[in-house]
């Protein structure tokens, strides 16, 4: 999808121009920069499935952007607008994202031109299995080469079908389950994957709020509580981000934009109630606890502290960038801000937490799931009870030495050993904090010489440097 202005470049061109902005600030040969910039390959498949008494033909893609690390990783999207340009842009972002958060994968992405709402579950299963068959037989789904995950329009169910399809075609592969991530728990998934991208958005925002300099750059007061947030898209990512920010950080979600318009409530929307309503009624239009606005795009321009686009790409573009009225944009979606809009917003002093960082929670926990599948054991299973026994001993010793009782309100938290969900969240939090630290260090250091430096360019520089180092190590 191109931006709102017809003069705007395509999504892939937009990603490339943000890439070039970073490369201009690096000491990288033109040849190596070009090698990193381009997609290595994009496979297009057209396949037929007999449905409703006729043969329906579907078009799908799997693009591999960079194989400097393998397997390559990236979600599969189901949407009518899927096209080669979009898939290649998304695959490129996966390369940079994995490098930024130190997940040892290359970048890939897939897509199928389909509106999942048009099909019944059993029909979707047949379509998904057929698409997976086409990709598996070309090793475009494979535990050691190419590992998909959910994206827009897909979720646990599609991933379970893909895993099963791979297993049927590779019956003796003991690592078959590692061929895809984002599976349900009973099919080899990991606790915390469904919430991971939204959780990562929350951890990223929390980290931003730990740095007074960054708040100052955004013109924001400290403390997340009470901050006004607008969210676009109440799907997997938008829902979880909104829910956690509201329930755990006391933020006020003042508007949610969905495919059928927006719902606004300056006193704050209850995300759990709204999500239930959307699931039951298919949209936000009839939600009774807020004002409905038909023109969802207009609500992106509403005054707020944090704007979280969590649906589509190119929604903030040359057509509306100068009217965006927020201090911080957190790109939960991939590519929601076009390169042209990025420039306008930078000049306005709006801080942008870039997609390759903000939504990296998904791929981070996918990495944990892949490791779990290959090790064939749940995280925490071996050590949890042993940890608890040791903590009990410490309490006993403390009580003996001091003659006093350990505070009962702290006892449970102190004793309990980490289970899988706790470990996954801890690993995700550590990843988000570490990557943010790297980005902001470069941002602030460079600002002294380069007034035009921003978080996104810093993120690109770090990622490109890491990919370049891998290529050099490979002897390229």
Does residue 234 bind ligand NAD (CB under 6 A)?
yes
Structure tokens at 67: 């194989």
Catalytic residue among 73, 109, 228, 252: 109
| Cis, bond preceding 71 (omega within 30 deg of 0) | yes
**Residue among 107, 153, 204, 290 that touches ligand NAD (CB under 6 A):** 153
Helix (H) or strand (E) run with residue 77 in it: strand 76-78
Does residue 88 bind ligand NAD (CB under 6 A)?
no
CA 340/CA 344 separation, integer angstroms? 7
DSSP state of 177: G
List the x/- string, 114-133, binding to ligand NAD by CB under 6 A.
--------------------
Does residue 164 bind ligand NAD (CB under 6 A)?
no
Question: Sheet containing 261-264: which strands, arranged edge to edge?
Answer: 291-293, 261-264, 252-258, 228-232, 306-309, 328-330, 351-353
**Residue among 233, 290, 340, 354 that touches ligand NAD (CB under 6 A):** 233
Does residue 151 bind ligand NAD (CB under 6 A)?
yes
Does residue 334 bind ligand NAD (CB under 6 A)?
yes
* Closer residue to ligand NAD, CB minimum distance, 345 or 360: 360
CA-wise closest residue to 469 among 145, 147, 102, 148: 102
Does residue 468 bind ligand NAD (CB under 6 A)?
no
Give residues 249-308 in contact with ligand NAD (rule: CB under 6 A).
257-259, 296
**Active site (annotated) includes residue 228:** no
Does residue 91 bind ligand NAD (CB under 6 A)?
no
What is the full DSSP assignment across 193-248?
TTTHHHHHHHHHHHHHHT-HHHHHHHT--S-STT-EEEEE--SHHHHHHHHHHHHH
Does residue 150 bind ligand NAD (CB under 6 A)?
yes
CA 115/CA 155 separation, integer angstroms? 14
**Residue among 63, 146, 236, 317 that touches ligand NAD (CB under 6 A):** 236
Least spacing, CB of residue 465 vs ligand NAD, in Å: 23
CA-wise closest residue to 12 among 339, 465, 455, 316: 339
Residue nearest to ligand NAD (CB): 235
Which span sits near ligand NAD by CB under 6 A: 3-11, 22-30, 267-275, 327-335?
Answer: 327-335
Does residue 197 bind ligand NAD (CB under 6 A)?
yes
Whether the Cβ atoms of residue 63 and residue 86 lie closer than 8 Å to each other: no
CA 348/CA 305 separation, integer angstroms? 14
**Residue among 235, 242, 340, 354 that touches ligand NAD (CB under 6 A):** 235
CA 380/CA 377 separation, integer angstroms? 9
Q: Which residues bind ligand NAD (CB under 6 A)?
A: 150-153, 197, 232-238, 257-259, 296, 310-312, 332-334, 359, 362
Q: Which residues are catalytic?
A: 109
């Amino acid at each position: 999808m191109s931006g709102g202005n017809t003069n705007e470049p395509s999504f892939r061109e937009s990603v490339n121009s943000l890439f070039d902005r970073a490369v201009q600030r690096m000491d990288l040969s033109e040849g190596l920069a070009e090698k990193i910039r381009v997609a290595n390959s994009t496979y297009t498949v057209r396949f037929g499935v007999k449905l409703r008494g006729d043969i329906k033909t579907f078009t799908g893609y799997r693009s591999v952007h960079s194989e400097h690390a393998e397997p390559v990783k990236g979600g599969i999207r189901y949407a009518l607008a899927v096209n080669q340009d979009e898939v290649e842009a998304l695959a490129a972002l996966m390369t940079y994202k994995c490098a930024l958060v130190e997940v040892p994968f290359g970048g890939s992405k897939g897509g199928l031109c389909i509106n999942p709402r048009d099909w019944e579950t059993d029909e979707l299963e047949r379509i998904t299995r057929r698409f997976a068959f086409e990709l598996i037989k070309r090793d475009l789904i494979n535990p050691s080469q190419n590992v998909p995950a959910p994206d827009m329009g897909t979720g646990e169910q599609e991933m379970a079908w893909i895993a099963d399809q791979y297993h049927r075609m590779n019956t003796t592969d003991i690592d078959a389950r590692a061929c895809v991530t984002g599976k349900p728990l009973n099919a080899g998934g990991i606790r915390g994957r469904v919430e991971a991208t939204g959780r990562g958005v929350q951890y990223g925002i929390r980290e931003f709020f730990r740095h007074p300099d960054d708040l100052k750059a955004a013109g924001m007061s400290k403390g997340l509580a009470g901050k006004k947030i607008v969210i676009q898209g109440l799907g997997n990512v938008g829902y979880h981000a909104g829910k956690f920010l509201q329930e755990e950080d006391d933020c006020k979600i003042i508007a949610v934009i969905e495919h059928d318009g927006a719902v606004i409530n300056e006193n704050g929307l209850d995300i759990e109630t709204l999500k239930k309503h959307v699931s039951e009624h298919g949209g936000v239009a009839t939600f009774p606890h807020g004002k409905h606005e038909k023109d969802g795009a207009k609500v992106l321009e509403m005054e707020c502290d944090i704007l979280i686009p969590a649906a589509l790409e190119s929604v903030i573009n040359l057509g509306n960038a100068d009217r965006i009225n927020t201090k911080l944009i957190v790109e939960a979606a991939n590519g929601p801000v076009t390169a042209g809009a990025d420039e306008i917003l930078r000049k306005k002093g709006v801080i942008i937490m870039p997609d390759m960082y903000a939504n990296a929670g998904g791929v981070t926990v996918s990495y944990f799931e892949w490791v779990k599948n290959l090790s064939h054991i749940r995280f925490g299973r071996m050590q949890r009870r042993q940890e608890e026994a040791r903590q009990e001993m410490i309490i006993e010793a403390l009580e003996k030495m001091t003659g006093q009782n350990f505070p009962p309100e702290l006892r449970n938290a102190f004793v309990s050993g980490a289970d899988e969900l706790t470990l996954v969240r801890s690993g995700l939090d550590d990843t988000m904090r570490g990557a943010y630290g790297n980005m902001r260090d470069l941002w602030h250091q460079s600002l002294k010489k380069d007034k035009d430096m921003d978080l996104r360019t810093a993120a690109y520089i770090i990622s490109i440097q890491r990919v370049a180092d891998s290529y050099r190590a490979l002897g390229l």
